[in-house]
Structure 1
Amino acid sequence: MSAPADSPASGSSATAADGTDDTDRGAVVRRLRAFGSTVVRLPFTLALWVVIFGLGLVTGALWDHASHKSWYVDVAFGLPALEENKWWTIVTSSVFEPSPGKYVIALILVAVGIGWAEWRLGTARVAIVAIGGKIGAELLSVLLVWFFSRDFTSWQWVDHMAGTRGTGVITMVVAAVAVASATLRSPWRLRVRVFLGAVVAITFLFEGTFGTVQYVLAALIMLPIGEQWFSTAERGYLPRTRREVRMLGSVGILLIAGANLMVFFFPASGPLGPTDANDESTVSMIVILVINLLIADQLRRGRRWAWWVAVVLGLLNVLLTILVVALVAFTNFDSEGGVTVGTTLLWAVVLAILIPGRFAFAVPWRTRRSGSVDGDPVDRVKELLHSHGGGTMSWMITWPGNEYLFSAAANSVVAYQRHMGTMLALADPVCDEDELRRTIAGFIDHAEKSGKTPCWFSVGAETARIADELGWRSLQIAEDTIVDLPDLAFKGKPWQHVRSAINKSKKENITFRLVVLADEPFSIKSQVRAISEEWVGDKGLPEMGFTLGSVDEAMDPEVRVALAVDDTGSVHGVLSWLPVYGAVGADEERTVRGWTLDVMRRRTDGFGPVIEYLIASSAMAFKDEGAQFISLSGAPLARSDDAAEAERMDRLLDSLGAAMEPFYGFRSLHAFKKKFSPRYEPVFLSFRDESDLPRIGLAISRAYLPDATPTQLVRLAASGGHD
């Protein structure tokens, strides 16, 4: 007999006599338990919060200005306190706030900032870095004030600071967050640090108090300490991906524009005097604002000219501020105007992103091309790929950073890049078969007339054969791994790992989706970017380019993206597939005949065999659509039989591949692809003669890592030496 509709057995929740739903009550209990367990894990945060709140309540400072109380001089820290031998103020200044408004801000920041840092670092370590950072910043600030307030300077702001006492816990928050940021993975470690630096700089800009001096010093001291002794997942201050550099640089310029706007409408008094400029009109302010917005937008797009403008403006601002500080400190110079230390600190943060991140700003004003073509050359390249077809790597020539050599009639094209005096032609020419020899010869002639060393990188057997007939040499540098789809079936022992991945995905409610990433909602795109940036952050080198795409390239509407998503909407893995156009069927209709694997990322703590699952699911989906094959792509600088080819491969290229292996796993990735029982097609490097190989090797390293720092290149070389 079935249960009555209103009974608990029917699935409905019971209602208590007081009208309270048992389900709601249970949810409240679970939330209270979760909150209690969180509080238990944060005893230092809880104790500090209770002490600050309790003292404010007892003394009445929560609703009245503590700085107006008679006892304030006995708890506030500063140079006068040390001169009066009130050493205890080093500690007591941390648990009082000067005003009710500061109490509200401080209590929120302790709960959020110190709480998060304790969650990341643990109770003992967060107590050490918070208290130690606070004391260190206090003592250093007093030392600097004492030094600059001596008779040899005439800096009025420093003289004022010499007579100031202050209280506040926010310095502890800055110190704790600065150290805890070292425990994060990319991209969040840099985002938190940039946010912290921006907040500290803006606060210093608008207040310029003794306390904000301590914020700046705490950040400068504790960031290196955190990096040196508390880094876990990765190390370094540099951004890893092009998108991250562009986004942070753009946001930094917007913050500077916003700060200048705030200063215009709400002038303050900072270390260099009043921040308002008496001669600055509304029109000039609007012009400066528009220029900043334009630079920020172009930085977001990766424009090279915007990078140069931003760097020059930032350096001029920093140098000008240093000059003004010297004049104010040692002369009677009146600095009233738009120059402020606060905006200079913001510029310093932006320059710290832009200068080492210059690799992200390689997009020229317009794409270079030789030959006659109307409109965007990339659009014409795509038209040629649609009509002539191409190899498994041909779609990569549509990516940013390539230059194009078109024929006179614009019916053929060669894509290339310039590095180290070399023109690296990427992939096979896109043209009719009858025009292949002429197109190859045309590029060689164009490069030699330009005084450059020509080279063909990652080309197929036919292009290599024609190059050899023209007197060149060709070496196999990789193997393209091809999986034919018409007869593909995951049967038999060789496919056991694939079947296991598919079966496990069903048990864990993982579903496969094949999408156009650009059309996906923000939640999906942001997860994909986060997974990719975390993967790059694990490497010791910046995001690579040339034949290795990123999420930006995966946003192309013609690129398909495979996603593994669980029932909560979380993305566990992502693949991107580049179209391969060519003739299909008896009528030789030009359409997508295959797909090439490009981006391959998995979430660190996600579904284990997600890559195997995504590749297998993609293969079957493309098979159902009529595709002939998928290419798992050739692992750059990797081959299946190193011993057989060692005599033919130049030592420099072999060393480069070995050096990159610890960072990007090219050769281990090549071994992984063997799981899918592919057939192999050789990929060649074609060159004039052996004397060109050293320059070509350097050019290839620059193509993949166009702006790696000297330290990173040293690490690359050192790792290769131990291979």
Structure 2
Amino acid sequence: MSDAVTGGGTPTGGAPMDRMTDGAAGAAPESGAAPAQHDKEPTAPVRASGLRTALRRLGRLVAVHPFTAGLTTLILVLALVTGPIHGPHRPLRVWLGAGPVQLIDGHWWSPITAVLFTDNLAELIVVLVLVVVLVGASERLMGTWRTALAFFATSAAAIAAGIGMQLLGSQTGELWARNVHHLVVLDVFTGIAGTIMTASAFAGTLWRRRIRVITLLVAIMYLLYSGLPSDLYRLLAVLAGFGLGVLLRPHARAAGWLRSSHHEVRVLLASAVTITALGPVIGLLTQSRFGMLSPIGLLFSNDVPDSGSVLERCQAFAVTRACVQDLTLERINGLGPVLISVLPLLTLLVAAYGLLRGRRFAVWLAVAVNALLAVLSALYFGILPFADPRPTVSPRYWEVTIILALSALVPAAMAVLLVIYRRHFSVLATARSVRRYVLTVVLTGVGLVALYVLVGWVQKDYGFTRPIDIGDLLNDVLERFIPVSFLRREPLQYLPTTPLATIVYHNIGTVFWLVVILAAVPFMFGGGAWRRSSGDAGRVRTLLERGGGDAISFMATWPGNSYWFDSTTSGAVAYRVVGRVALTTGAPFGAPQAEHDGIIERFARFCDDSGWVPVFYSVDAAYQPLFDRMGWSTMTVAEETVIRPQQWATTGKKWQDVRSSINRAQRAGIRSEWTTFAALPLSTAVQLSDISEQWVAEKDLPEMGFTLGGLDELHDPAVRLMLAVDEAGRVEGVTSWLPSYRDGRVVGWTLDFMRRRPGSINGVMEFLIAEAATRMKEDGVEFMSLSAAPLAHTAGTPDEGKSGMDRVLGYLSTSLEPVYGFRSLLKFKQKFQPELHPLIMAYPDAVALPAIGVGLVRAYLPDLSVRQAAALAVGRG
């Protein structure tokens, strides 16, 4: 922007196998048997192939987004030609830019050319990124011709309307219009803002609302705190984009159930608090002083005026910009005053995070800070003239007075909104913790006040610019806690001169606000209003034995899970909260299948009320119609492999590998044992531990958890083990099986833990599964689930149709494949000719995908170190 002066798949149940897949035909080599690398000649063809692939992808992107590609290229070429470092120089800038003077001079093209040039290199980089991301997304939503129309039409209309408003204001003597009359605008952001606002009409309901609210708020904040003509044009472009979007798509409708409104209110209010908190930062960083709320930007100025009679001229309803500037600068001396102006804004950002998570405490914290800022603005800018009960409004200064009044109205309006919508924030802190917080803040404030008075009294005769008394200290102490941008109408009475007095004078407010923030952090980042009851484990066992769950429901008994019990039915959901994401362990259980739809909807509302993002993870695709009705997004994360033991047979050509493995094991004298961990001899239990530890030691990443059981999960007496034991009693391999119940009877078993001893014969896993199937056939078991191959499934999605989460999980699968061999595991399971049942992940809001992705990684790899995470990110195998 330039305003220049003219003239100046995640893993699911089923533990991964060893690095090798057993089988008669083509077993993978053992560790240490890596293929020899004789030379590096294939590197060049591989690189050439990679370059060709990249170029093909780029070509597809250009073909899908021709306007975005053309606009990006045009902006880049024009910047290189006219000067990428400092933008077009003055004669060319005046000819290309937009402004009242240019329009009067007949530059009819300026509303179009003004949105094609940038002012400096940093702005050029930001513009190119935003064009690719935002304009590209807009083109994907509404097509090429609509995007081109939106970019240029909203820009031209906004700039023309804005110039008209400036000319009208100049003719009527309006202060702002006169001050900015000679500024020339070059601003690509105007076109971008109009484009994304137009595209919002083509987005889904949630994104449509968010794009409109957030874009409008950002544009308003820039106008209030920066106040350049480009900020006005940008706001008008946003409004024009809204109107154009309605014209292009007048009948956009909301489809599907959009969850409780709590979550959306939280997102919007948290965004509003964040944007209003960052608004003053615009004033701090911008070079402009034209914004209505720009006085806070004076904090970064270096010129400190002498105290004098000029300060005494700043009276209520007679405030000039020069007097406001002098008042602000007089109080700046060191880092402390700057920090005390920033820390209340940081407090609002902390509160905004709490709002996003549904914390009622965050509501009242944000209300308190906003109310404080509103009152301080009204008092210190002279809006509440207590000194003169009958003030006379000077016509000369009425505009400045209104501008300063806005500094009180903006935080006041935000506080009122938060109070009105407080019911949407239902996560309540305990009364004890709130009392502790209030007591901490109050005692800190009292202690700092006492410290200031004590130090001042000790140095009253020599520590300040004049001798002071206790009355001076008490009258001044509260100002030490107030952001320096809120200016008193009277001049300063004294300043510190000694090091100790200076430190206390400038920093007690900083210490106070730091305590306010740090004491509030646990309320925003804590675990929420839930506790796991000691009786939950027994209750869950009872519900599991009743039935009504899926193949992985028994994983609900594992450590780390929390439980939600449905008060309407007998069902329950097992879940774990990672960050602000509540990941379920499969589908509901303990209730008939017909009642699951209601259970899922009520659990989603429970999560929404708790400030969590509900994610139904690794549930059967049969729930897809329900999630479609709810308006949720879904994706396939794995495929469950199911065998029917009553139909088990290994005849036919397709079973050749399995038969060969069984025969090989029998010839080697290996037998199977169907048992439990408690029944194992100590020597056998030690062998299982040894096998597991060797398997983990081979991996560059820690053992995975969540829906992947480890050695600890074998100890459950309900879990069955199938062991492969040789004639000497040495365990060659082990599998574990989790029960599925109906009316207290086991009707199925699900494969979980799989380990084999390094160096054991090929085919030992095929042997174990075949023996388990035979045993289950004898026991009359209805189904045998080989569980799902984590991060691997046969349901492929074309590159063009892949979502962001598809790509993230694909990347994760590729990264983990050399370590855990998930795709090899799926291929291994397909030897048993199973039924393939897709398992899906359902989530309510695509904006939470980054948090969901992080939550899944943390759930599966809770012990992942920074080094291992870096290796995972760069080492894709």
Larger Rg: 1 or 2?
2
Structure 2 length normalisation: TM-score?
Answer: 0.41
- Higher RCO, 1 or 2 (CA under 8 Å, sep at least 6)? 2
